[in-house]
Amino acid sequence: RRVHGLIKVIAAIDELLPDHDRWYHEEVRAYVERAMESRRVVVVGHSLGGGIANIVGASLKTHAVAFSAPGIIAIRKKLNISFADINKFTVNVAPTHDIASHFGERGGITAVVNCDERRPDHCHMPMHAVCDLLTKCGHPYLDARCKYSTQAVLLPFIESALAAIGITMRTST
């Protein structure tokens, strides 16, 4: 039910946007292009921002790292991005039980990280992925015992978005 409600919200928002506003990646791409003139750039993003990071990275042939991002394979032809460039330049960090990272085919390298939380909105928080990576890989300057809040951030947003279009969502915590 939650996924169905989320899809309804996304579809409702999508219908409100004019066609030219749907190409979120263009401004990010222009910014990264300017930055690449003077330095090496790795594009990083989370959720929709991760999808945009992968689009920009693959299209500009610079590395991109996406946390909990949807896949970009389905849109690659429309954006004139080759499958080879997606595979060469993109890295996806996909927590188990996260909803967003399971939308669409990703391409590139995918690192699946563990999330034992019961709620998908908790697994969507980037700190789960970062802490799992630190625990598995370690870091010489950081304490591997990550501490972070699991306060729900996505679910309240979804509930308010659904309420705005007249849909009530019952949840249990």
**Which residue pairs from 102-106 have beta carbons closer than 8 angstroms and sit at least 24 positions apart in sequence?**
103/70, 103/71, 104/70, 104/71, 104/72, 104/73, 104/74, 105/71, 105/73, 105/74, 106/54, 106/69, 106/71, 106/72, 106/73
Q: Examine the pLDDT at 73 and tell me if it is beyond 80.
A: yes
Mean pLDDT of 133-155: 61
Burial class of 104 by CB neighbour count within 10 A (0 to 12, 13 to 18, 19+): middle
Mean pLDDT of 159-165: 69
Q: Which of 13-22, 60-69, 155-164 has the highest mean pLDDT?
A: 60-69
Mean pLDDT of 120-144: 72
Average pLDDT, the chain: 76
Res 126: pLDDT:
79
Q: Examine the pLDDT at 78 and tell me if it is beyond 70.
A: yes
Res 12: pLDDT:
64
Is the pTM higher than 0.75? The answer reads no
**Chain segment 92-124, per-residue pLDDT in tens:** 988 888 878 878 778 888 888 888 777 777 788
Under the banding of pLDDT at 50, 70 and 90, the label for residue 1 is low
Res 148: pLDDT:
56
Q: What percent of the chain has pLDDT over 70?
A: 68
Q: Examine the pLDDT at 89 and tell me if it is beyond 90.
A: yes
Res 173: pLDDT:
47
**Chain segment 17-40, per-residue pLDDT in tens:** 555 555 677 888 888 899 889 989
